[in-house]
Amino acid sequence: MAFHIVLVEPEIPANTGNISRTCAATGTWLHLVRPLGFHTDDRTLKRAGLDYWHAVKLEYHDSFQEVKDKYKHGRFLLATTKADKLYTDVAFQDEDFLVFGKETKGLSPEILAQHPDTLMRLPMTGDVRSLNLSNAAAIVLFEGLRQTGFQGLS
Ligand SMILES: C[S@@+](CC[C@H](N)C(=O)[O-])C[C@H]1O[C@@H](n2cnc3c(N)ncnc32)[C@H](O)[C@@H]1O
């Protein structure tokens, strides 16, 4: 049993590398939806993931729809600055799919419209448009892990 992180068309290799390390440390699946803004042998990607890539449960997909078709019974929770609901008000469940958008544009209006009831946002103040992708993913994932009693190894 584990959470799933879905990155839709990620562009910056260091962000995906950081998230891969977080996934490896927590037993979380990582789903990368193409097109990716980097080659999978990118040095920055590898460096950010350190030598933990072998421990990542990794899948590639050609579209977000492909993820949904494969995991028909999955619950997809979408992180977006455009949500009303705070991520801390979500009751996370083991096996949830936590979905994040690309660095420049976020999730498309079409994808957001498919899941109007499961959008969540991280609170922000000031003129900042958004948080860094890998920070947003880690914050949401660890809230889900906290709620579901993840203890890790001592
Ligand atoms: C760098 S942000 C995308 C910024 C994009 N300009 C936008 O406005 O959506 C990359 C991804 O991180 C997540 N993210 C960043 N900040 C967030 C926030 N405050 N609330 C929810 N998700 C956030 C979202 O999934 C977003 O698609």
pTM over 0.90: yes
- Residues 48-51: contacts with CB within 8 Å, 24+ apart? 48/13, 48/14, 48/15, 48/16, 48/17, 48/18, 48/20, 48/21, 49/16, 49/17, 49/18, 49/20, 49/21, 49/24, 50/21
- Asked whether residue 108 is marked as a ligand-binding residue, the answer is no
> Per-residue confidence at 136, pLDDT binned at 50, 70, 90?
very high
Around ligand 1, the residues with Cβ closer than 6 Å are: 79-81, 100-101, 103, 105-107, 121-122, 124, 129-131, 133, 136
Residue 152 located in a structural domain? no
Write down the ipTM of this complex: 0.98
CA of 63 to the centre of ligand 1 (A): 19
Residue 84 located in a structural domain? yes
Pairing of strands 76-79, 29-33: unpaired
Domain range enclosing 125:
4-147
CATH number, position 85: 3.40.1280.10
Residue 65 located in a structural domain? yes
Residue 154 located in a structural domain? no
Question: Is residue 153 over pLDDT 80?
Answer: no
The domain tally of the chain equals: 1
